[in-house]
Every structure is written in structure tokens, then in C-alpha cells.
Structure 1
Amino acid sequence: MHTEDVLAAVGSGVWQWDAATEEIAVDALAAHLLGLQDGAGTYRTAAVRACLHAADYVSVSAEVELAAAEGTVAEQLVRVVGPDGSVRRTLRARIAPRPEGRINGTLHEVPVGGNRPGRPPRDWRRAREAFLLDAGRALAEADSTQEVLRVASTLSMPGFSPDGLAVYGVDSDRLSVIGHHGQEVIDPSILDMPLSADYPAAVVARTGQAVYLPTPRSYAERFPATWPLVRPYGRVSWSYLPLTVAGTTIGAWMAAFREPVEFTPDERAVLTTVARMLGQALARAGQHDSERALSDGLQHTMLPARKPDVTGMAVAARYVPTGGGLQVGGDWYDVIDLPSGRTAIVIGDVQGHDVRAAGIMGQLRIALRAYAAEGHGPDAVLSRASRFLAGLGRTSADARFATCLYAEVDPLTGTLEMVRAGHPEPAVRLGDGTTILRRTAVGLPLGIEPDADYPTTRMVLEPGEVLLLCTDGLIETGGHDLDTGWSRLSRALTAGPAGDLEVLADSLVEAVHGPASHQTTGPLADRREDDMALVLLRRDPDGPTCAVPVRRTMLTISQDDPGQIRAARADIRALLHDWSSPDQVESAVLLVSEAVTNVLVHTDGDAVLLAQVTGMPGTRRLHVDVGDRSDEMPHPRDPGEMASSGRGLLLMEELADAWGVDPRGDGKATWFELYEAVPPAGDGD
């Protein structure tokens, strides 16, 4: 006698569900029970759906999917309805998976109004859905393995919360615990084992099928070798589920319970859903952990191996990554010992925030070190670096450019020869705390024009002054542009403690990015808009500190860049930011503009501006010196009403407290002085 005949004799029909083709095959009795008029045969799932109550069809199709995923047997009560929606009969559907991927089952009629196992109350279903939504959100937000494990340890499932959890990871042919909760001490043989071990988690990792052990007896019978290791923990039910990502089992998840759990279809559905989310979260976290390790490795190898040091000067440096993606970018700094005994300070920014930008940055840093070690001057070093970077781009899509500032420092005299390739200008905090931008000549960013020239600017760092070099990540963040960003940074540099450069460096980063643990390397806890680098250099006093405060700035205005006159005016305003007479400040700005313009119009050379403020507030003196290489001396004259020039010396005579023209061996210098005028005290009105 065939099996179908035996089942028919006891009133059970047979059906077979093929999820791949969306077809259901039924025998004659199953067709009768379902109300299929055409009798035995193969039907589309839509035809069977029409015979069942809508809610019951959703439940039984979910059970079919669960049985296919886990290889487990399940039962479900379903209601057969007529064309008018009325319930005709209730069937018990038994679901059993087959090796070939199909789902076999039986249908048997049960008395109407009987118990409906596997149909949890509606409130429980809502609680389950709320739990799964919350668990999914928490696991999606976890960005590290430890955070995922922390979330997993706090999962409280509705009606059957686990008391102990363990997450296992597969590594080659071994299975090891990567996190656990609820048991302080675990037997070493359970912590790490061969994948072939006769242990539930190992079986799950090998087969990809869940293992449910509802009672201690079921555990002892199925896994007698490991039962003595598990018994001391006092649990009575266990579930072991595979952690699967893209069809690959990456580990197993164990949930143990002190209260008995039957592992009904609804309970297994919750556990299976959590296991899927947990597997995806662990895969994402593992990728993030790998990215962080790669980021740390890149930063460790690309930043200077030793703490920056310049003899006779104090140096502090910081690199802060973005915190996003691989947390690497193209910003870097370096301090290079030169064959001449001097020191070069380099800071730069390669276009982009990805691994390729970081790789190009490493190559460019090595190239700059090599060119500097050959003894080339600053301009030649950047010219060669630009040619090198331009050669790295095999195609236009590969081409990257970089901004860079290279400064050669003579610590004995405080002289810096500076070359700038499209990089933000340096800033100087003067001895009395005033901060000004040091206007320097600029060339094209590296890599744009292989044969580009880079003009050199010479400046002197006086004892006690602090030089700031930085990338644009320290300036243009938080919605700031270049101007407002510099204003914010200047205030922070002025207010910071210049006596300790390490503290000052931290205060600058905090002023821009907010409080954080600012390290030279390593990712920050909070996300940054852009990575950034900064270097602070202070010339230590080489003798007794002068009792009279001095502010000084020097600037070269070239014939081919008259726009630097604006920079000269800005420097004078910065020097006189706290001058008591606003009218004198405007007079100084006007006289500087006239003196520099006179050089550019009437000579063929550049104008060299040197401005210096000395004395105590209220009695200070401004001395401005504008030099050129022409021997022709200027003479006062009457320009007439319609003349466009000839008023410079007349303005000097009218506005300056003292002025003059001094011949020099290689040209002349026009100078003027202003003495701070203290406004008269108010009359009390």
C-alpha cells in the first residue's frame, strides 16, 4: 500500500509546495479539503491562496519559508473559505522540507472552534514587530564588532528573552567565541574548537541549518559529548542559528534560556530574523574594523616616524582624519633634516578623501624627501615634485593635484625661505599675541603644470613668535569660507597659550572641531567634515627678552602681482588692530598703498614692505619702510587738479608724523612714522 493511500485512509491529503516555481501539487483528498474543483493536480499558488483565509495564507507561506531555511518541521492551522468569504472548514497543515528544496506536507481537517496552536495573540505579534524594528535599528547603527556584541547582549525578545548569548566566528577550519554574555567563565574547549567538533554551534556553522534544543534531555541525547560542559550553566533550552551573509555562513549565534521554550514557529521566526540581522551587522562591523586597521596602518606609515624637532625651536604638529569611510585622506606634514644643517617643514593636501589620495600622498611625501635630501632649494624641490605628481596620472581620470607649502628654516637667524603651491597662507602670532597672515608668493598646485615655477618668499621669525602652517580642513569647516574660517582661527591662535605649543595645537583643533581626543594619528570618535594637518613653530628666545614689545611684518609686492597691495593694506590693519586712533590706522593704510603703488608705477622692480610697531600701548610708534632697487629719488611736485599721480609725497607730508627717503647701496627706501595719539578724555557730558 502506498503512503498516499494510508494517509487518505485516515483523512489526510498530501501536497507539495515548490517555492521556486510558485506551484503547489495536491492529491485528490487535499484538493477536496481545499475546495479546488478540478481535483488532483498542480496549481499556481494564487489558486490556493484564493481558497484560504488571507491571514492564514500569509502565516503558512512564512512557515514554508522558515522550514526551507532551517530544514525543520512545522504545523499551522488554516481556514478554508468560500467565494463569499465564509469559513467552510479548518485544516491542520503539516510542513516538512525535502532535500531537493521542495516542501512536502499533509492536510487534515480539525473540528471548527478547536484550539489554534501557533496563532499567538495579536498583542504578542505587535510586540514582536516592535522588537524586531528596534533590534534592526540598533544593529544597523552599530559600527564596530564590540558595539554589535553589546547590542546583541541587550536584546529582550517578547515572551522568551534569552539569559545567555554567545556569538561564534568561523576562521578557516576553526570556530571560536568572539563575544558572549550571561556567563563569566566558559570552558576553554567551547571558546575555540575545530569546525568538525560535535557541538551545536559547530554543526550549525558546518551545515548552515539551525539547531533547536527545547529541553536538557534533547541536548543530552543529541550532543552527549558536550552536554557535561553545558549542564553547569543551568539553562533548560537552547537555540543555535547560523549567521549567514550572501549565502556564506560566517558564524553561529547561541541563545540560552533559563525558562523552557518550545520554539514554536513564531518564536523560531523571531530568532531567525534576529540571526539574519546579527549576521549582516557583524559583516558590516568587520568591514569597518578592517577599514580602521587599514587607516591606522596608513597613518602610522605616512606620518613622520619621530616627533617633529627643530634645534633651537619648539614644534608641535597634529593630523586629524575625517572619521568617515576609511578615515584617510591626502593631508600630511613632514619635518626633514637637510644636508645644509637646516630643517625643512612641509605641509600639503592631495586632492580627494580616499585610499588613492592617501597612497599618492605617501608617494609625494617620499619624493619631496628625496629631492630635499639632494640639496635642492625650496623652489626646485616643489618644481620637481610637481613634475613627479603630474607623471603619476596615467589617464585624466587618474590625475590628482596637491597643494603644498615648503619652508626651509634657519634656526640660528629665524629666517624662513618659503614656497607655496596653491596652499593656504601661513599665519604668525606675534610676541604680544597679535595674529596676522603672512602674505607669501604663490604658484600653481603640484601636478597641474609639470614645468611650473615657484617663487620664494623670505621671512624672519622673531624670538617668541609662533608660525602656523595648516591645511584647509582647519579653516573651511562648519560652514566657513576662507575669510571667515581664517577669522575664527586667528581668534583661537591669539587666545591660545603660546608658551606650550602642544596645548596650543589642541586648542586650535578644539576651536574648529569641538572637544575630542586629538592625537597625531588614529581616528577620532566623532565624524569630521575634512581631514586636516597643522604644524606650529616657535622660535625660542636666544637671549634676554626685550622689555619693549615689537610687532613686525615683511612683504614683497611683485610687479606681476599688484593685487598684493591689498595684502599689504590688510597686514597694516592687523598690526594696528588695537591702535587707539582709528583715523591714524586709515592714514597708515593710505600711505602704505601710495608708497607701494609709487614703486610699481615708477620703477621696474618689486616693492619690499617692512612695517614695525614698537612701544607700550598709548605711546607706540609705527615705522613703515618701502624699499626698491631704483636709484632715482622722488621729489615733491604740484600734480594739478586733473593729474592722476604725484600726490604720494604730499600725503606723506600731510598725514605722517615723520617721513623721508633714504638712499641705499642697491636702491632706496621711502619711510614714514606715526606716533600713537591717545584720544582726549571725555568732558563728562
Structure 2
Amino acid sequence: MRTGEPLPSVGDVLAALATGLWHWDTAAGLVTVDAEAARLLGLPAEPVTLTEDQTRTRLHPADWNEITGVVPMAVSEGTLAEVRIRIMDEHGDVVRIVRSRSKPSFDPERQAYELIGTLQEVTEPVPGSVAARSAVTGDWRRSREAFLLDAGRALAEARSTEEVLRVAAGLSMPGFSPDGLAVFGVEGDRLTVIGHHGYPTGDGGPFSYMPLSTDYPAAEVVRTGRAVYLSSPEHYRARYPVTWPLARQLGRHSWAFLPLIVGGHTMGAWLAAFSYPVAFTPDERAVLTTVARMLAQALSRAGAAESERELTEGLQRSMLPTLIREIPGLDVAARYIPTGGGLQVGGDWYDMIPLPSGRFALVIGDVQGHDVRAAGLMGQLRIALRAYAAEGHRPDAVLTRASRFLHGITHDEELTDLRFATCLYVEADPATGMLEIARAGHPDPAIRMADGTVMMRPTAGGLPLGIDPDADYPTTRFALEPGETMTMCTDGLIETGGHDMESGWRRVRAILEDYDANHEDGLESLADALVQGVHGPSSHHTTGPLADRREDDIALLLLCRPGDGCGCGDTVAVRPRVRRTLLSVAQDEPERIAEARRHLRELLHDWASAEQVDSAALLVSEMVTNVLVHTDTDALLLAEVIGERRGGRRLRVEVADAGDDLPHKRRPGELASSGRGLMLIELLADAWGVDPRGEGKSIWFELYEPGGSPDGGVSGAPSRT
């Protein structure tokens, strides 16, 4: 080309290389080919669009099946799809062999694959015919360069030893291709078979675990680091008479044994065997040597990655507990998904601890960071928590001691990388379902009720562990009702995928609400659904595709009290459905009044009357405010929805406090700022009352959902007081 002339188009370049382009959209069922690809398919050399059936008639049936099998695998592994295809004429005879390489993608909305790739003719040698191979000598260098480029890219993308071997078995060398491959490794003074292709299945038979001193080509290659080429059976028999009887049984005619060298060290040998004579010209030896170098690098990378994964899995297994599955009255499931960086370990963890009282403690937490130090601190903190819990301390005392412990080991004068940890500690009574929770800067748990309603459960909390050695951690007590499931997780489950806490919670809530509680796998299937909703398919404690790239660790704990609607697989006697929320508002927490209104609205998300929902939120705000204004005590809000929706339901709201003065109605003046609370309750509620208690009192009201009986399908509804 002269300087300044425009570059040729991609189509012109591909045409000059005798390479055709094709596009396949499985949703439309159409295959579009350019002129060169049409020629390779045995059609007139002009662009054309074919149906899948028309395309399939040009291909060998076995090759079409291989294409449909390789494409999904390439998508799942993120690699190229490479297939050798035999082109058939109208009489069913093979007219040529082409190589197809494409980058497939999958559209989940259309549930379809889309492929854009190339077709290039592959010249196959006729066994025993040197002339047939020499006929393509003019294209040798061009084909060799294209082959080595493709082979290098494919081997570089292989992520495991198994995938490296599969790629090596599929390599189509220009002008000569082996039909038998074997990769040998070294263990001590023995030769091992890492993998093979084109030979009878098994572990390598007599060639496996062979002493390196054996008079066998692969052993010699490992000893010397030099390749061995055997172009004929006579050559093999003359040079290696001892092992020739073993090789003769496999029916090959030519062999190439090449060293696999990485960093100047021979890590093994590669065997390429041919069922026809090969002369092993300098060009052919150059190709084989280059492939052997790339294969050695790929195997080295894959081996290092597999060793890292094995180390990661061992570290995870040593740090993660084994859940106690058989707990009468409770069911538990857990998941841990590591981050994709480094060793794939981090600071997230969960634990289950038997307590001296016969109860159980469930712990979930997150040490700051995603590195080895975070994992080490997590292990130390987990052991400390188990020790404090085993001593019989209450949840608040356990977290206080754990915070002091973490502060002590991270605030050393020589350390500049200070760490903290969030934690949620739950003490559960299997007999009653009563839970006592202490929280250290961790996300609140969520409750999935028996009717599928999902609500965040507010709990009292303190600072993350390790910040203040004298921090207090108030506790929250409530009962997990039959049929309810509590979800506890680290922020990785919520914030992954570009979500913040609010949008991520909406995503998790939607998964919990859409879950089929009658699934045969019970709570385990719900745990899988939550993880899959964020990242895709997973296993219990996670390796493989799911662990390839994570934004943050994920720890997940599910606690279910068996009953109708929880998904545990067990049921209890039919009883009226109860949907309940409990919230305390301290004197110094007036901002939680807005939170109380929000949670009441969540509780009534499917209530038939929006006007009644507004009335209930207004009354709750009035009742809680009155406690904070007219007493020196905290307010405890209990709201329950009782009954089935189709039969009408009853909302009962109680606000209790420790004050002794009973409220009474007043007639405020027009400009008065208080005194309207009981008047509003009397005006808006279907029933209400004030109940004195041993210490303090409670004021309550009820609303009846339109469309059902006044008691919401539950007998004994109290009358207006």
C-alpha cells in the first residue's frame, strides 16, 4: 500500500485470507453468511441468509450436535466456541472441512444465543500421503500464524487443567493434526498422566506412575528437557524397544514428545500422536514446539489457580461452622459466598453456638476489609464470641466483651490499619420461639411472616465492635411466630450490583415475598433463591463460577419456626394468621415515631382501605407522642393483623408505657396544642380502650377491614370501651 491510501475493509482482509463471516441468531432461527462463507458451505459465492434447517443440511449431523453443545459451554465459561465442521454435498459426501470460531452471547430476556464468527477451510492430510500435505505448502505460513494466534488465545482463556486439556484436544493444526494427545506430569521420581484424549478411557494404564528412569520417550523428555520425534513404528521400536510393545497396542504411526517447560524447569511432557506417517519437518516441529510452550504456561496458570482455590476452600472450611440441623422447634440454613479478589476470603462470617441454658446463639458479622488480615481477625473474633457465649453471658454482655477484645487486638501502637466489625447476635429459645437480639452496627434482620408479608425488624443497637471498648449494646426481645422466617445477612447481599441499602433491600424483599413456601427443599431452597437473585447459581459454601468475581463477601443466615407458610417443610395445626410488629421508642428517640408509622404501613401493605391505613398511622403517631410528652418512660408499640384477608381482618394496636397516670379525654380549646389524642381514637377507631397493668398501662385501638366479619374471622373481639 502507498502512504496515504485508505486501509482495506475488514471484509477485504478476510476474503484475502479465505475466511468467511457468519452470524447466527437462535431467536430468529436465521444464519447470515457472506460470499466466502457461502462458498465454503458449498453454495454460490454471494451473501445469503439461511434458515437453521437449510444450514443444517450442509453440515455433518454429528458436527451440528457438537455446535449446539459447545455454544452453551462457551457462554458459561466466557470463552470462544471452536468447532471443526464437515461440509456435505447433496449426496451426503464430505467435500471439505472448515473451522468455525465464534464469540457467543446469551440474551436472558429472549432466552436466545447470538453468535458472530468466522469460517476457514482446514486442509486435512490424507494418511500416508505426503503429496496431499505438500499441496498446501503455499498457505503454510499464513495458516500457521492464524493457528498459533487462535491457539494462544484459547489456551490463555482456559481457567482449569481440565479446560486446558479440552482446548488442547480441539486444536486443529495446519496441515497435520494429532488424533491422540497425552499430558504427563511429575511426582517425585515418577511420571504421571495428567490427562489424555483419543485413547481408551482410564487412568493412563501402564504409562501412569512410571519411573523416570524407564526407557520411555516421555520419561526421557522430562529427564533431558529435549523433544523426541518418532516418524514411524520402526523408528519407535528401534529407539525404545522396551516400551514399544505398550505403544504398539494403541495403533499410531508417528509420535512427537515435547517438554513442558516453565521458568527453565521441565514440569512434564506433551505427547502428540498421529494415526498416519508424519515426517516432522522443521516447520512442523516449530509449530509443535510453540504449542508445547503455550500449553506449559496454560497448565502452570491453571495449576496455580487450582492450588489457590484449594487453599481458599480449606481456609473457608476451617473458619465456617457446621450448622446444627436437628433443633426441635427451629430450622436453620446458611450460605457464605466469598469475594472474587485475592484468596477469595474476607471478614464475613456466621456461627451457631449451643448455650449452657439449652438455647442457641446465632451470630452473623462482617470484619472491615476483604483481605487476609480481615479473615484472620474474623477467625479470632469468632472464637472470642464463642468463648463469651459458652460462659453463659447475655447477648449485650457478649457483644460488649467482644468489642473490648477487638479493640485490644487492633489498637496496638504499632498498627496503623485499624479495623472494626459489625455483628448481629441472636439468642433463640427453640421451645417458645423467643429471640433476644443485640446488634453492633449491623443491618437489621427481616421477618417473612406466615402469609408472605416481609418486613424489616427494627432492633436496638450500638456501635460496631472494636470502636469503643466500653460501648453498650441494648437488646430487643420478640417471639418468632410459627410459620415465620427471620433473615440475617451481611451488606454484601444487599449492596451488590450497584445497589445502596434502600434499593438492595427492595430487591431482597421481593425475592422473599415471591418465594414458594411449599418448595420441597424447604429453607435451603430459600437460601439458594436469595443468593441466585443477586449472583446466579451457587453451591452451599461456594466455589466455582459463582466465586469468580464478587464485589463483597456475602454471609446469610435463615432461622425458621416451623409452621404453615414458612417453607421449612413442617406445619402446625391450623390457627388464625397473625401478622405482628413490635417497636420500642425511647424518650430520647422521638425520631423513631416516623419509623413506627412506616412499619405500620408496611404491616398494612395489602389492607383493603387506604383511608383506614392513614387513620391507623395518625393514631399511632398520637399515642406514641403522648407517652413521650406526658410520661418519663419509653413507649412499646405492638401492632397485629389477625385473620384471613378474604374473611376480613382485625388490626389491633397497643402502646404500653410504665407510667401510672391513666389518660383521660379533654376538650381542648381551638388554639390548644394537645388534648386531642383520645378524641381522635374515639372518632377513628372501631374499638379502643385503656388497660391498667401491674407496672404502667397500655392504650389500644382496633380497626376492622371492610368486607368481613367485625372480628376479622377471630372470635372474641373486644367491644368499644
TM-score by length of 1: 0.76
Q: Specify the alignment match of 1:504 in structure 2.
A: 526
Amino acid at match of 1:583: E
Spell out the pairing of 1:624-643 with structure 2 (5 A cutoff): 624-637=653-666
Cα distance change, pair 278–639 in 1 and its aligned pair in 2 (3 A): farther
The answer to whether the 8 Å contact 1:428/1:467 transfers is yes
The answer to whether the 8 Å contact 1:320/1:523 transfers is no
Q: Specify the alignment match of 2:583 in structure 1.
A: 555
Q: Specify the alignment match of 1:58 in structure 2.
A: none
Q: Specify the alignment match of 1:616 in structure 2.
A: 644
Percentage of identical aligned residues: 66
Query: In the alignment, does 2:518 pair up with 1:518?
Result: no
Query: In the alignment, does 2:457 pair up with 1:438?
Result: yes
Q: Specify the alignment match of 1:227 in structure 2.
A: 244
Query: In the alignment, does 2:381 pair up with 1:364?
Result: yes
Query: In the alignment, does 2:491 pair up with 1:463?
Result: no
Q: Specify the alignment match of 1:256 in structure 2.
A: 273
- CA separation in 1, counterparts of 2:325 and 2:353? 9
- CA separation in 2, counterparts of 1:348 and 1:318? 13
Query: In the alignment, does 2:599 pair up with 1:571?
Result: yes
Q: Which runs of 5+ in 1 are unaligned?
A: 1-117, 680-685
The partner residue of 1:532 within 554, 559, 572 is 554
Q: Which secondary structure does the structure 1 equivalent of 2:363 belong to?
A: strand
- Cα deviation for residue 441 of structure 1 reads 1.1
Q: Specify the alignment match of 1:161 in structure 2.
A: 177
- Cα deviation for residue 191 of structure 1 reads 1.8
Q: Specify the alignment match of 2:153 in structure 1.
A: 137
Query: In the alignment, does 2:514 pair up with 1:485?
Result: no
Q: Which secondary structure does the structure 2 equivalent of 1:475 belong to?
A: helix
The answer to whether the 8 Å contact 1:142/1:148 transfers is yes
- CA separation in 2, counterparts of 1:450 and 1:301? 28
Spell out the pairing of 1:149-298 with structure 2 (5 A cutoff): 149-184=165-200, 188-298=205-315
Structure 1 window deviating more from structure 2 (317-326 vs 134-143): it is 317-326
Q: Which secondary structure does the structure 2 equivalent of 1:184 belong to?
A: coil
Q: Specify the alignment match of 1:299 in structure 2.
A: 316
Cα distance change, pair 544–138 in 1 and its aligned pair in 2 (3 A): closer
- Cα deviation for residue 585 of structure 1 reads 0.7
Q: Specify the alignment match of 1:95 in structure 2.
A: none
Amino acid at match of 1:508: L
Q: Specify the alignment match of 1:606 in structure 2.
A: 634
Amino acid at match of 1:262: A
Query: In the alignment, does 2:343 pair up with 1:336?
Result: no
Amino acid at match of 1:588: A
Cα distance change, pair 560–307 in 1 and its aligned pair in 2 (3 A): same
Q: Specify the alignment match of 2:108 in structure 1.
A: none
Cα distance change, pair 424–187 in 1 and its aligned pair in 2 (3 A): closer
The answer to whether the 8 Å contact 1:313/1:540 transfers is yes
Q: Specify the alignment match of 1:666 in structure 2.
A: 695
Q: Which runs of 5+ in 2 are unaligned?
A: 1-133, 564-569, 709-721
- Cα deviation for residue 460 of structure 1 reads 1.1
Q: Specify the alignment match of 2:429 in structure 1.
A: 410
TM-score by length of 2: 0.72
Q: Specify the alignment match of 1:70 in structure 2.
A: none
Q: Which secondary structure does the structure 2 equivalent of 1:233 belong to?
A: coil
Cα distance change, pair 211–559 in 1 and its aligned pair in 2 (3 A): farther
- Cα deviation for residue 610 of structure 1 reads 0.6
Q: Which secondary structure does the structure 1 equivalent of 2:461 belong to?
A: coil
The answer to whether the 8 Å contact 2:531/2:538 transfers is no
Structure 1 window deviating more from structure 2 (538-547 vs 554-563): it is 538-547
Cα distance change, pair 150–509 in 1 and its aligned pair in 2 (3 A): same
- CA separation in 2, counterparts of 1:527 and 1:605? 53
Q: Which secondary structure does the structure 2 equivalent of 1:252 belong to?
A: strand
Cα distance change, pair 674–242 in 1 and its aligned pair in 2 (3 A): same
Amino acid at match of 1:676: E
Cα distance change, pair 525–575 in 1 and its aligned pair in 2 (3 A): closer
Q: Which secondary structure does the structure 1 equivalent of 2:249 belong to?
A: helix
Aligned length: 562
The partner residue of 2:685 within 652, 656, 674 is 656
- CA separation in 2, counterparts of 1:257 and 1:310? 62
Cα distance change, pair 521–512 in 1 and its aligned pair in 2 (3 A): closer
Q: Which secondary structure does the structure 2 equivalent of 1:197 belong to?
A: coil
Q: Specify the alignment match of 1:98 in structure 2.
A: none
Cα distance change, pair 666–543 in 1 and its aligned pair in 2 (3 A): farther
- Cα deviation for residue 593 of structure 1 reads 2.0
The partner residue of 2:495 within 476, 500, 503 is 476
Alignment deviations for residues 131-169 of structure 1 (CA, whole Å, 9 cap, x no partner): 222212221221111111111111111111112111111
- CA separation in 2, counterparts of 1:148 and 1:525? 20
- CA separation in 2, counterparts of 1:318 and 1:187? 39
- CA separation in 2, counterparts of 1:641 and 1:265? 107
Q: Which secondary structure does the structure 1 equivalent of 2:466 belong to?
A: coil
Cα distance change, pair 139–431 in 1 and its aligned pair in 2 (3 A): same
- Cα deviation for residue 528 of structure 1 reads 5.6
- CA separation in 2, counterparts of 1:308 and 1:605? 42
Query: In the alignment, does 2:178 pair up with 1:125?
Result: no
- Cα deviation for residue 396 of structure 1 reads 4.4
- CA separation in 1, counterparts of 2:596 and 2:173? 70
Report the aligned-residue RMSD.
2.9
Q: Specify the alignment match of 1:108 in structure 2.
A: none
Alignment deviations for residues 88-134 of structure 1 (CA, whole Å, 9 cap, x no partner): xxxxxxxxxxxxxxxxxxxxxxxxxxxxxx99856322222222222
The answer to whether the 8 Å contact 1:300/1:521 transfers is no
The answer to whether the 8 Å contact 1:497/1:503 transfers is no
- Cα deviation for residue 533 of structure 1 reads 2.6
Q: Which secondary structure does the structure 2 equivalent of 1:578 belong to?
A: coil
- CA separation in 1, counterparts of 2:616 and 2:378? 44
- CA separation in 2, counterparts of 1:451 and 1:173? 61
The answer to whether the 8 Å contact 1:552/1:610 transfers is yes
- CA separation in 2, counterparts of 1:641 and 1:170? 95
Spell out the pairing of 1:373-412 with structure 2 (5 A cutoff): 373-393=390-410, 396=415, 398-412=417-431
- CA separation in 2, counterparts of 1:187 and 1:652? 84
Amino acid at match of 1:598: N
Alignment deviations for residues 4-60 of structure 1 (CA, whole Å, 9 cap, x no partner): xxxxxxxxxxxxxxxxxxxxxxxxxxxxxxxxxxxxxxxxxxxxxxxxxxxxxxxxx
Q: Specify the alignment match of 2:102 in structure 1.
A: none
Cα distance change, pair 396–187 in 1 and its aligned pair in 2 (3 A): closer
Query: Which of structures 1 and 2 has the bigger CA Rg?
Result: 1
The answer to whether the 8 Å contact 1:323/1:523 transfers is no
The answer to whether the 8 Å contact 1:613/1:621 transfers is yes
The answer to whether the 8 Å contact 1:426/1:437 transfers is yes
Q: Which secondary structure does the structure 2 equivalent of 1:219 belong to?
A: helix
- Cα deviation for residue 525 of structure 1 reads 5.1
